[in-house]
Amino acid sequence: MSGAEKTAIVVGGGVAGLSAACALAEAGLRVQLAERRGFLGGRACSYRNPGVDETIDNCQHALFGCCTNLIGFYRRIDVAQRIHWTRTMTMIEPGGRRSELGFSSWLPAPLCGLPRLLKAHAFTVGDKLALGRAFSALLRPVAADSQESLGEWLKRHGQTEGAMNRFWRLVIASALNGDLDEIALPYAAKVIRELFMSSADAGAMGVSSVPLSELYDGAVRFLRERGSEVKLGAGVESAEWNECEGQWCVTTRTGELRAEFLLLALPFEALGALLPQLPRTAGAEVLAGQIARHKHSPIASVHLWFDREITDLEHAVLLDRTIHWMYNKSRLQPRRKGKGSYLELVVSSAREFAKLDRAQAIALAMRELAEFFPAVATAKLEKAALVKEMRATFTVPPGIDAARPSAVAPWPNCALAGDWIQTGWPSTMESAARSGHLAAEAISRAAGEPHGFLVADLKSRRLLFL
């Protein structure tokens, strides 16, 4: 934007707020980013855990090649090189037998994943035929307003027990962080199509090679280089719109902020708590009703440090047990390499696991980990940490789209961001980044100089007749 005097306040320093703030700063606005905590990243952050004296991620977060807006945000702030990419997913059965899923770059979608699926020991012939039927059915459009759950749809399409437990519940339901009967079919179809039916590049998985919050150092630098500010520990208490001055006044714990534009990049529960301190409008009441329909789903992770190497794998899917995912941080984050090893174990949709206390959760994790990796039996556990992210994601039951507002807020010169607004994606970092770009576009329109920040989807490499 040409007018450097134009200003905006962005409330919330998660992925949504950071992507929005950086887009606006790049367009020429002077941005004040207010974050209530002492670090950035929101639910995708890292912090120093005093119990183990280590910097850990609050939970492992992965992205995929189809996450174009998250990748675009990382490129904008010059940290894309810190993402480690792989096209292979190792599935391990109790006892140690391994299968590999992944994508062949020489085949077009959706055939690119077929060679490894056919070779996978984890699935019987019946399982593979059932998965093939389901994938073929999902090539056809799914009505956006479908009220059918994924669980109901899978029953109609004759999925075997192995396909249900080792693919749909473990890979897809855990990606959406919910139970099969709680997931709206359109969102499951979205994940399948984006990961498996677009191109081999779309399904490549990326993880950060540094603690998550270090990625956001690039955003802080990016903003400051453009005359913008990041204010930590600045929890917002209220916001008022001054019609005469055409300006927002936002009261935070550290003082007042004033700007022409306001962008609220908050989780739904945080925005709901702030609504009484925002101007009263009929639209705000509608928004409150939408917020009331949302629910959380937890994710838990167990962090284990051993005196020796447990596995040479970077990551793995653990079958038929409570623990779902293993990430070998000693290999994924080069700075952690040493004599021992650091593993992070993740449980998705962790309602029952989250009821366990620290000792119970760590004991269960150790017991199950030993079933997959024999080295656990002779290794010494040097330290351990348990993280329960009770508000990790929002659930996506049938009909939830009606409760997802657009980026345009019910107040003047104001926009909304957050993974839960209308993005077309479930609760992911990609949805958060998309929402930030959509909200930045809304602010730029309100400023009279529209900009397009949303990054286009990957170009499909699907066979033309499918």
Cα–Cα nearest to 219, from 40, 350, 403: 40
- What is the rounded CA–CA span in Å between residue 220 and residue 210? 16
| Sign of the dihedral defined by the CA atoms of residues 180, 424, 394, 58, in that order | positive
Chain centroid to CA 417: how far?
14
Q: What pairs with residue 300 in β-bridges?
A: 347, 388
CATH fold match for the domains 7-50+211-294+396-446 and 296-394: no
CATH fold for domain 296-394: Polyamine Oxidase; Chain A, domain 2 (3.90.660)
Integer Cα distance of 346 and 348 in angstroms: 6
The C-alpha angle with vertex 298 and arms to 164 and 150, in degrees rounded to 5, equals 30
Query: What is the number of other CB atoms lying within 10 angstroms of the CB of residue 365?
Result: 27
For 313, which DSSP code?
Answer: -
Give me 293's structure tokens: 């329909």
Q: For residues 38 and 232, is the Cβ–Cβ distance under 8 A?
A: yes
- Are 11 and 236 within 8 A, CB to CB? yes
Judged by DSSP in three states, 68 sits in helix
Instruction: List the chain domain ranges.
Output: 7-50+211-294+396-446, 88-196, 296-394
Instruction: Tell whether pTM > 0.85.
Output: yes
- pLDDT score recorded for residue 49: 94
Fold of 7-50+211-294+396-446: FAD/NAD(P)-binding domain (3.50.50)
Strands 98-102 and 255-259 come out as unpaired
CA proximity to 6, closest of 180, 293, 238, 248 = 248
CA distance 398 to 131: 23
440 within 8 A of 1, measured Cβ to Cβ? no
3-15 b/e (C-beta count within 10 Å ≥ 16 → b): eeebbbbbbbbbb
pLDDT value at residue 461: 64
Residue ranges with strand state E in 254-324: 255-259, 261-265, 296-306, 315-318
Residue-wise DSSP of 155-176? HHTT--HHHIIIIIIIIIHHHT
Torsion of CA 115, 117, 121, 125, to 10 degrees: -100
Distance (Å, whole) CA 466 – CA 139: 7
Beta bridge partners, 242, equal 247
pLDDT tens for the chain, 466 residues: list them.
444 579 999 999 999 999 999 999 999 999 999 999 999 999 999 999 999 999 999 988 999 999 999 999 999 999 999 999 998 999 999 999 999 998 876 677 777 888 889 999 999 999 999 999 999 999 899 999 999 999 999 999 999 999 999 999 988 888 899 999 999 999 999 999 888 888 888 889 999 999 998 999 999 999 999 999 999 999 999 999 999 999 999 999 999 999 999 999 999 999 999 999 999 999 999 999 999 999 999 999 999 999 999 999 999 999 999 999 999 999 999 988 888 999 999 999 999 999 999 999 999 999 999 999 999 999 999 999 999 999 999 999 999 999 999 999 999 999 999 999 999 999 999 999 999 999 999 999 999 999 999 999 988 766 544 4
